Amino acid sequence: MRTVNPEKHAVRRAAILSAAAEVFAERGYDGATTAAICKRAGVGSGTLFHYFADKRTMFLAIVADDLTTVTAGLERIDRTDPVRALDEVLGLLTADLGDPVAPGLAAAMIQLARRDPEFAATVIAKDESARRAVAALVVDGQATGAFAPDTDPDRAARWIVAITDAGHLISDDPGFDTATERAELRRIVASYLGRRRTPGPGLPR
């Protein structure tokens, strides 16, 4: 029996998903084909179908992997300082804002989520994870006086995550500069929460 090398398997799987993300971004979900993904990934159809049953399975895997990455990143954030922690969460949620694939991929996700409840649930799970983290930090920040006390944490979290999602849809607009727009996002959130102090030194901007 032929054994599978886990590292090679993971690398090939990641390469296929990267190629699939590019094709989904360029063609939308409906316009993407497994043949186009095979060509972009440089693999045969037999190899592709060894890893994924169809293009829907690939898209689910892309979103599920992103959920795993975001969830793990949220768990690693030091929440001792709510202001700094919230800025780190914003950084995590906009980590791929400069990726040219991001706008088209986000649009394709919306396209499929509208008619596929299972896929939509996976997308929502990512946002829910981020919302819980943001809401908890708003509560902590209000308790320490860093944020104004008159904002509902759950509502604030819903809007903040929605704004970061929207950022991916506009990131291919003419003149969009990732660093500038990330700074603008932080200003918007700080103003919304009535932030009363800035994060500590050393935070990437």
Cα–chain center distance at 89: 11
The Cα 40–Cα 43 span in angstroms is 8
Per the structure block, which two tokens stand in for 9?
């398997």
Per the structure block, which two tokens stand in for 187?
């200003």
Q: Where are the domains of the chain?
A: 58-193
Q: How many CB atoms lie within 10 A of CB 66?
A: 17
* Residues near 7 by beta carbon (within 8 Å), at least 6 away in sequence: none
Q: Quickly name the fold that domain 58-193 has.
A: Tetracycline Repressor; domain 2 (1.10.357)
The Cα 157–Cα 130 span in angstroms is 8
Average pLDDT of adjacent 10-residue blocks, the chain of 205 residues: 75 96 96 97 95 96 92 94 95 91 93 93 90 96 94 96 92 92 94 74 42
Compute CA distances 34 → 24, 85, 87, 109, whole Å.
Answer: 10, 41, 39, 17
pLDDT at residue 198, as a whole number: 57
pLDDT at residue 98, as a whole number: 86
pLDDT at residue 3, as a whole number: 62
The Cα 48–Cα 189 span in angstroms is 42
pLDDT at residue 202, as a whole number: 42
